[in-house]
């Protein structure tokens, strides 16, 4: 069974091919037009990604059945073979480091050294195999990726049932599963990168699924471009790994790094930072987080699968996979922890004031991903992966639940127009509430164990460079946990409690979703409850998931796990702190939104208008990027290129002119387009930046004084830290 | 009660930050100037404390100079206030924002 | 004045220590009142009392000369000047609607964010203990002569140049104040 591991990604690939070809064929012959029959209706509806809002022609039933069976069946088969391979190796064996390498064929067969199995000499290992590797880490990943993926495919049957692009949707979704499973099962960096790019491509295709809508198409482009920036880092990291180790195979690289750390340590920081840039792009960490909220333009099951449970966790998986390298570079781990902690807090504050149900969940995802990176940064890779697992369950449940709400209201996504839905859609409400409690960290639910593991690890971490940092990060993470509980319960209160604030027409049509949508919700809610029980610390550091992952990933960085066992009373105190913070958050949200109908927050927003505006506008990060990069580079660069192009085209017919005319023209060209163009280009890009900076010139001395004071304090703080 | 240098540092820092807060948040220009005097006072406190700790008179001499400069600065500041008041008929700092943009 | 001899590193002990605590708390309270008071005359009076309290602290620290200068110059000169100007520009009946500028919430937040870590650092920083020479502030050429003489001795010998510069500065300030305070030309007929 283990040698049939290749079927795990192959089934979805086959599903993609079948679905895709059938879709192309059926749309060619049946002549079903792609643009919606009612363009105006499609553009005027504000719901993003909901099929009801732009329904034009439904897929014909016979194709629909085929797409359904192939789409979900391929994932089901993939899951069956995945579990089969895992059970074939055996969970106890995996816990002790069993690892199956399945080499399919030699992919890139260059070079001279091919026979020896050891790490080669200076020429390097110039070949890359198409090889899949099953060990405890990848087993964990494929287990929940296929299972949650299957549930979401089933959900999509109900959700996308009335859409004309049904076949296209399932084709893309299957392609995504193929890419994600390739990424996870890859045994070398290059194959992982293939999967990495594949999931990025599918993210673009699926976010921009409703490509008639401009903002959906733009969101897809934005996701792809921002991801690309991260991929640039990842590629550089891969180059670095190859330059240092001479091979791209995971097993050989990690064995070499572990056996001879001193030889590689000087370069490891640079390589790990490049790799982390890739992870940050894929997993939406600050400053590359901007694509994820916009990605909510895609259909809700896509948001659940790709932007909650699987693709965005690929970054965490990559960092966990390369933990041997990261542990050689404490500075890289410091950066990872700081970025993760900052992102967690930053995104949580934005999530507090969002009014779109999916945007709240999007920022929540960014924040929880920050938690995972924070855990990896302090060396608790197990806690990070544990949170990946529990987050997949409750976040997918939340997204699918939100999709159910949107479906029930016929496309409405604005929380200000919801309310009082608890009695009308009880199954959705119950599962949503369960998942909310799970993410808030209510004791005994899944999120509690994983979040608590992270908080405990952060509190007890040590950073040689900045000894006060772990406590600061712990406080930030604890505060973020409170914020998480608060904004999630705010979401629940605004959507499910109180009086309904929508239109009468919506109120008349509110209905519970079909079984194909509610059954996955129930399953995921159940997993959100029990999914954390595999991480219960039996003895200190002896939880089941920790032991399962221990051959690949240490529970705590280094051998400090043993000598550093914290007293039980500290553990209990930390647990109590996180529970208390969560309860406060839940209670406060209940008081303000369920009972208080949002009066207190509205008054707060009036009392602090500037602060509210800054947070509600996501700290103007998108505006800053727009002014600096889009306006500055794209506009001036585009104009420059256009002028060069127009000139060259004109040159050919005019080339027969007199030589003096040509020479005169040449110098004129140089002066006008290169010299002036460069000057104008510089001026344009500067102007974009200046327009942004102008807003700092308020003319008020006290504003300047405030900024000066802040700068001075920062300088003194930096001095105090680094003296 | 044993007072160490840390107590002095904390007190002078708190005094300084209260003065700084006053500079940043008050609308009346005169109050802003008074907050500046608070800040200078806090600096003096710090200087005297360290002078005492190091048993060096330099700190006290420096303090005298700080008071001198504060006096000169207060004079100029108040003259500016009067000038501003004569021109704009207001003491509100926020109204003096013609450099905006 | 009582001072600490037995415990190195302590600047004040016993009763003097408690006096310092009282003065410091009151001075901080007065400072807060300066910032918060609506009426600028109230602010001026609170500032005056804050100065007096700080002068008391100076005297506790055996800086009697500086304490006296503080009272004379600050409380007696500068605050009086302030009060003159307040009363000169005071507009009857025009009471400001708002006391605080529009950025008060951000400024308060910024101050709190920066204040607490700095306070923590300042409170917990361990300074090396130094021997205390209590008579250093009263000695002139090895004999006890009093704080004023000691300060004068240092001021006019080691810091003569800054002293002269300070006096030039005061001249400049005086000229500047006169120029700035002059009425504009068209007012003079």
Neighbours of chain B (3+ CB pairs under 8 A): A, C
On whether residue B56 sits in a domain, the answer given is: yes
Do B24 and A706 count as a contact with CB atoms less than 8 A apart?
A: yes
Give the best-scoring range by mean pLDDT among A45-49, A503-507, A532-536, A709-713.
Answer: A709-713
Q: Which domain holds residue B73?
A: 5-93
- What are the tokens at A470? 């772990």
Do B2 and C51 count as a contact with CB atoms less than 8 A apart?
A: no
Residues in chain B closer than 8 A to C177 (CB atoms)? 75-76, 78-79
The residues that bridge with C143 in the sheet, in sequence order, are: C140
Domain edges within chain A: 1-32+55-99+135-185, 211-622, 652-722
Total domain count for chain B? 1
Contact of A712 with chain C, judged by CB distance below 8 Å, is answered with: no
DSSP string, A1-56: -GGGTTHHHHHHHHHHHHHHHHHHHHHHHH---SS-S-HHHHHH---SS-GGGG--
Classify the phi-psi angles of A663: left when phi > 0, otherwise alpha if psi is within -120 to 50, otherwise beta: alpha
Do B23 and A705 count as a contact with CB atoms less than 8 A apart?
A: yes
Q: Domain holding B79: CATH number? A: 1.10.287.3510
Looking at CA atoms only, how far is residue C144 from chain B in angstroms? 14
For chain B, give the longest Cα–Cα distance. 55
Does the pLDDT of residue A423 top 60, yes or no? yes
Alpha helices in A283-378 (DSSP H): 291-294, 300-304, 314-321, 323-327, 330-351, 357-377
Do C78 and B34 count as a contact with CB atoms less than 8 A apart?
A: no
DSSP string, A250-305: HHHHHHHHHH-HHHHHHHHHHHHHHHHHHHHHHTT-TTS-THHHHGGGS-HHHHHI
Classify the phi-psi angles of C15: left when phi > 0, otherwise alpha if psi is within -120 to 50, otherwise beta: alpha
| Cross-chain CB nearest to C103 (options A702, A716, A720) | A702
Q: Which of residues 73-112 of C touch A (CB under 8 A)?
A: 101-103, 105-107, 110
How many alpha carbons lie under 13 Å from residue A641 in its C-beta half-sphere?
6
On whether residue B100 sits in a domain, the answer given is: no
- Alpha carbon distance A707, C32 (integer Å): 22
A325-357 residues labelled b (16+ CB within 10 A) or e (exposed)? bbbbbbebbbbbbbbbbbbbbbbbbbbbbbebb
Residue A196: predicted pLDDT = 93
Give the best-scoring range by mean pLDDT among A52-61, A541-550, C88-97, C109-118.
Answer: C109-118
- The per-residue pLDDT of chain B, averaged, comes to 88
Do A706 and C118 count as a contact with CB atoms less than 8 A apart?
A: no
Neighbours of chain A (3+ CB pairs under 8 A): B, C
Residue C176: predicted pLDDT = 92
Residues in chain C closer than 8 A to A610 (CB atoms)? 102-103, 105-106
DSSP string, A61-81: HHHHHHHHHHHHHHHHHHHHH
DSSP string, A451-494: HHHHHHHHHT---SS-TTHHHHHHHHHHHHHHHHHHHHHHHHHH
Does the pLDDT of residue A622 top 80, yes or no? no
- Alpha carbon distance A343, A374 (integer Å): 9
pLDDT mean over B26-42? 92
Residues in chain B closer than 8 A to A610 (CB atoms)? none
Does the pLDDT of residue A488 top 50, yes or no? yes
In the block, which residue shows the tokens 């040449």? A666
CA A411, A415, A416: angle at the middle one, nearest 5?
Answer: 110
- The per-residue pLDDT of chain A, averaged, comes to 80
Report residue B19's pLDDT band, with 50, 70 and 90 as the boundaries: very high
- Alpha carbon distance A203, C97 (integer Å): 55
CA A200, A202, A204: angle at the middle one, nearest 5?
Answer: 70
Contact of B100 with chain C, judged by CB distance below 8 Å, is answered with: no
Question: CB neighbours of A693 closer than 8 A, spacing ≥ 6?
Answer: none
Does the pLDDT of residue C11 top 70, yes or no? no
Q: Which of residues 78-107 of C touch B (CB under 8 A)?
A: 78, 81-82, 85-86, 88-89, 96, 98-104, 107
Residues in chain B closer than 8 A to C81 (CB atoms)? 74-75, 78
On whether residue B32 sits in a domain, the answer given is: yes
On whether residue B47 sits in a domain, the answer given is: yes
Residue A134 DSSP one-character state: E
User: Count of B–C CB contacts within 8 Å?
Assistant: 250
Contact of C181 with chain A, judged by CB distance below 8 Å, is answered with: no
Report residue A279's pLDDT band, with 50, 70 and 90 as the boundaries: very high
ipTM of the complex: 0.90
3-state secondary structure C15-62: HHHHHHHHHHHHHHHHHHHHHHCCCHHHHHHHHHHHHHHHHHHHHHCC
Lowest mean pLDDT among A609-613, B37-41, C101-105: C101-105
In tens, the pLDDT along A179-215 reads 999 999 998 899 999 999 999 999 999 998 888 888 8
- Alpha carbon distance B86, B68 (integer Å): 27
Looking at CA atoms only, how far is residue B97 from chain C in angstroms? 13
């Amino acid at each position: 069974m283990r040698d049939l591991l290749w079927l795990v990604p192959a089934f979805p690939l086959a599903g993609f091919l079948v679905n895709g070809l059938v879709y192309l064929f059926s749309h060619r012959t049946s002549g079903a037009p792609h643009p919606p029959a009612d363009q105006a209706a499609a553009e005027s509806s504000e719901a993003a990604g909901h099929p009801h809002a732009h329904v034009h022609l439904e897929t014909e039933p016979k194709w629909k059945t085929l797409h359904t069976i192939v789409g979900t069946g391929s994932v089901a088969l993939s899951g069956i073979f995945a579990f089969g391979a895992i059970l074939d190796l055996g969970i106890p064996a995996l816990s002790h480091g069993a690892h199956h390498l399945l080499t399919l064929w030699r992919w890139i067969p260059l070079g001279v050294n091919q026979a020896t199995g050891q790490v080669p000499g200076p020429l390097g290992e110039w070949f890359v195999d198409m090889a899949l590797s099953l060990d405890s880490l990848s087993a964990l990943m494929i287990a929940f990726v296929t299972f949650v993926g299957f549930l979401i495919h089933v959900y999509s049957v109900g959700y996308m049932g009335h859409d004309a692009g049904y076949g296209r949707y399932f084709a893309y979704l299957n392609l995504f599963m193929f890419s994600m499973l390739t990424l996870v099962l890859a045994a070398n960096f290059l194959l992982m990168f293939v999967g990495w790019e594949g999931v990025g491509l599918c993210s673009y295709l699926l976010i921009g699924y409703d490509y008639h809508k401009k903002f959906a198409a733009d969101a897809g482009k934005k996701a792809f471009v921002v991801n690309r920036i991260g991929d640039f880092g990842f590629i550089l990291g891969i180059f670095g790994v190859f330059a240092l180790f001479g091979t791209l195979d995971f097993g050989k690289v990690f064995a070499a790094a572990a056996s001879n750390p001193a030889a590689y340590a000087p370069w490891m920081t640079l390589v790990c930072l490049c790799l982390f840039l890739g992870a940050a792009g894929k997993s939406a960490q600050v400053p590359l987080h901007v694509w994820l909220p916009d990605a909510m333009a895609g259909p809700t099951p896509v948001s659940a699968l790709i932007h909650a449970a699987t693709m965005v966790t690929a970054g965490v998986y990559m960092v966990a996979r390369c933990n041997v390298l990261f542990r050689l570079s404490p500075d890289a781990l410091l950066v990872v922890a700081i970025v993760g902690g900052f992102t967690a807090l930053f995104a949580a504050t934005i999530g507090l004031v969002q009014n779109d149900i999916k945007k709240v969940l999007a920022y929540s995802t960014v924040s929880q991903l920050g938690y995972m990176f924070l855990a990896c940064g302090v060396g608790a890779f197990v806690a990070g992966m544990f949170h990946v697992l529990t987050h997949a369950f409750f976040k997918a449940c939340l997204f699918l639940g939100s999709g159910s709400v949107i479906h029930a209201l016929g496309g409405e996504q604005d929380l200000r127009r919801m309310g009082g839905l608890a009695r009308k859609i009880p199954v959705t409400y119950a599962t949503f509430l369960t998942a909310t409690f799970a993410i808030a960290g209510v004791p005994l639910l899944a999120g509690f164990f994983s979040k608590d593991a992270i908080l405990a690890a952060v509190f007890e971490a040590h950073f040689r460079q900045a000894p006060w940092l772990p406590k600061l990060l712990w406080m930030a993470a604890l505060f973020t946990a409170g914020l998480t509980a608060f904004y999630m319960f705010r979401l629940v209160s605004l959507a499910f409690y109180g009086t309904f604030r929508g239109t009468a027409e919506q109120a008349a049509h509110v209905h519970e979703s079909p079984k194909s949508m509610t059954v996955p919700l129930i399953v995921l809610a159940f997993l959100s409850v029990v999914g954390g029980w595999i991480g219960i610390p039996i003895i200190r550091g002896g939880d089941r998931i920790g032991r399962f992952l221990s051959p690949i990933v240490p529970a705590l960085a280094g051998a400090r796990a043993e000598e550093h066992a914290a007293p039980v009373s500290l553990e209990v105190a930390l647990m109590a702190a996180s529970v208390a913070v969560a309860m406060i958050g839940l209670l406060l949200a209940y008081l303000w939104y369920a009972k208080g109908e949002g009066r207190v927050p509205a008054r707060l927003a009036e009392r602090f208008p500037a602060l509210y505006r800054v947070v509600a506008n996501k700290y103007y990060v998108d505006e800053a990027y727009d002014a600096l990069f889009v306006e500055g580079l794209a506009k001036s660069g585009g104009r420059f290129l256009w002028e060069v192009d127009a000139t060259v085209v004109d040159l050919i017919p005019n080339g027969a002119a007199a030589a003096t005319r040509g020479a005169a023209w040449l110098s004129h060209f140089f002066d006008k387009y290169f010299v002036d163009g460069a000057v104008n280009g510089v001026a344009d890009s500067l102007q974009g930046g200046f327009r942004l900076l102008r807003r700092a010139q308020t003319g008020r001395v006290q504003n300047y004084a405030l900024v000066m004071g802040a700068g001075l304090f920062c300088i003194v703080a930096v001095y105090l830290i680094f003296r | 009660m044993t007072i160490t240098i840390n107590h002095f540092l904390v007190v002078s820092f708190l005094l300084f930050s209260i003065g700084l807060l006053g500079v940043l948040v008050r609308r009346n220009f005169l109050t802003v100037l008074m907050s500046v005097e608070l800040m200078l006072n806090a600096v003096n406190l710090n200087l005297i404390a360290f002078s005492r700790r190091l048993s060096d008179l330099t700190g006290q001499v420096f303090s005298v100079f700080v008071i001198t400069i504060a006096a000169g600065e207060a004079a100029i500041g108040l003259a500016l206030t009067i000038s501003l008041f004569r021109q704009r008929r207001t003491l509100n700092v926020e109204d003096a924002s013609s450099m905006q943009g | 004045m009582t001072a600490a001899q037995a415990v190195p590193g302590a600047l004040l002990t016993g009763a003097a220590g408690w006096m310092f605590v009282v003065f410091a708390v009151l001075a901080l309270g007065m400072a807060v009142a300066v910032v918060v008071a609506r009426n600028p005359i109230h602010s001026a009076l609170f500032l005056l009392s804050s100065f007096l309290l700080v002068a008391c602290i100076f005297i506790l620290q055996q800086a009697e000369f500086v304490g006296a200068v503080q009272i004379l110059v600050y409380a007696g000169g500068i605050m009086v000047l302030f009060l003159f100007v307040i009363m000169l520009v005071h507009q009857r009946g025009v009471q400001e609607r708002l006391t605080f500028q529009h950025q008060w919430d951000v400024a308060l937040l910024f101050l709190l964010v920066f204040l607490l870590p700095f306070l923590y650092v300042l409170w917990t920083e361990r300074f090396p203990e130094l021997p205390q020479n209590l008579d250093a502030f009263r000695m002139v050429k090895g004999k006890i002569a009093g704080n004023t003489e000691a300060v004068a001795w240092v001021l006019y010998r080691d810091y003569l140049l800054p002293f002269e510069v300070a006096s030039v500065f005061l001249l400049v300030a005086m000229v500047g104040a006169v120029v700035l305070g002059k009425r504009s030309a068209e007012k003079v007929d």
